[in-house]
Amino acid sequence: MFRKKVNVVDCTIRDGGLMNDSNFDLETVRTVVAATCAAGIDYCEIGYRNSKDQFDPKQFGKWRFCDEEDLVAATEGIDLGTTKMGVMMDAHKSDKNDLLPASESVIDMVRVATYCKDVHKAIDIAQHADELGYETAVNIMAISHAYMNELEQVLELLDKETNCKVVNIVDSFGALYQDQLHFIISKFQMHLETKAVGCHFHNNQQLAFANTIEAILKGCTWADSTIYGFGRAAGNCCTELLLGFLKDPNHDILPILDVLGSHIVPLKKSIEWGYHIPYMVTGILNQHPTAAMNFMGLPEDEKYDYRKFYTMADE
């Protein structure tokens, strides 16, 4: 049974790029873009448009910068159908002058990712993108670390000082349980009179998909996902699960199943994202996953000492 329209933003290459420094070959990116378009997914976020002053192009791949010529290469000849293309700009790691006018770009939507403290930078970039003709959105990261009074002010600023379509709750640490999420959603809905509310969850506690459902049942109309949950550390809400839940007649799960089998599931042999105990521990403790990612990289005879990791992390 179809429930109601939810705009799905697939960010497989963008969030997955946090696990391989955005070093995807062009064929993989084109296959993901083609699959999301064939699946009728509403938005495909191809990568970051972050600054080359902040990230070394010798280390990071093209999809950390999304130069226009690379976006053309990623999309030309593909029937995009109704799917819109997007990039993400980190408020504190990008330069608004890297944006062309929307009429000259493959990109339809610019999303600005920000911590509460950087909201003025985010507003500056989002409004510049709006003036250039893009749809815009703002993602508020690390929501489980936000001071509630500060968050209320941030939401009111975004509501009044931007033309963005949607503000997204981002549970960067995979820390939120359903009842905590309900409280945050109500804050967003109360203070965002003119914007939609969206969501982006991490799967440290196997709650990314469940919390996406919770958000939808509570009225959120935008949801982020990645194929097989490919994303930083424990990863994200799985696109295939979200399509299965939504049962939107304009979506088709079969092209996603194709790219799962051909490209994404095989990546698991070389990249360790998903549910792992160190990521679970940082989720439970509401911490950034960096320490867990480092622990996952230890030699075989050390990396399974989960008691040691928990005890260190819980100081």
Contacts with a copy of itself, residue ranges (CB under 8 A)? 177-179, 203, 205-211, 213-214, 217, 228, 238, 240-241, 244-245, 253-254, 257-258, 260-262, 265-266, 274-275, 277, 280, 283-284, 304-307, 310-311
Query: Least separation, in Å, of the C-beta of 71 and a copy of itself?
Result: 28
Smaller CB separation from a copy of itself, 55 or 201: 201
Which CB atom, from 65 or from 230, has the smaller least distance to a copy of itself? 230
Cβ-based neighbour number of residue 77 at 10 Å: 7
Q: What backbone phi and psi angles, to 5 degrees, belong to 64? A: -85, -15
Residue 292 makes CB contacts below 8 A (sequence gap 6+) with 233, 276, 278, 279, 281, 282, 309, 313
C-beta of 157 vs 277, nearer to a copy of itself = 277
User: Residues 134, 165: contact at Cβ < 8 Å?
Assistant: no
Are 158 and 189 in contact by the 8 Å Cβ rule? The answer is no
Cβ contact 273:230 at 8 Å: yes
> Position of tokens 């999304």?
66
Residue 75 or 144 having the CB closest to a copy of itself: 144
Name the minimum Å distance from CB 266 to a copy of itself: 8
Closer residue to a copy of itself, CB minimum distance, 104 or 305: 305
Q: Report in angstroms how near the CB of residue 13 gets to a copy of itself at its nearest.
A: 19
- Burial label for 266, CB within 10 Å (0-12, 13-18, 19+), is exposed
Cβ nearer to a copy of itself, comparing 66 with 253: 253
Least distance in angstroms from the C-beta of 238 to a copy of itself: 7
Least separation in angstroms between CB 76 and a copy of itself? 26
Q: How far is the CB of 307 from a copy of itself (least distance, A)?
A: 5
Tokens found for residue 46? 């191809």
Pick 131 or 252: Cβ nearer a copy of itself: 252
First to last CA, the chain: 47
* Least distance from a copy of itself to the Cβ atom of residue 291, Å: 15
| Cβ closest to a copy of itself, residue 22 vs residue 287 | 287
Instruction: Determine contact, residues 32/13, Cβ cutoff 8 Å.
Output: yes
CB of 62 to a copy of itself, least distance (A): 27
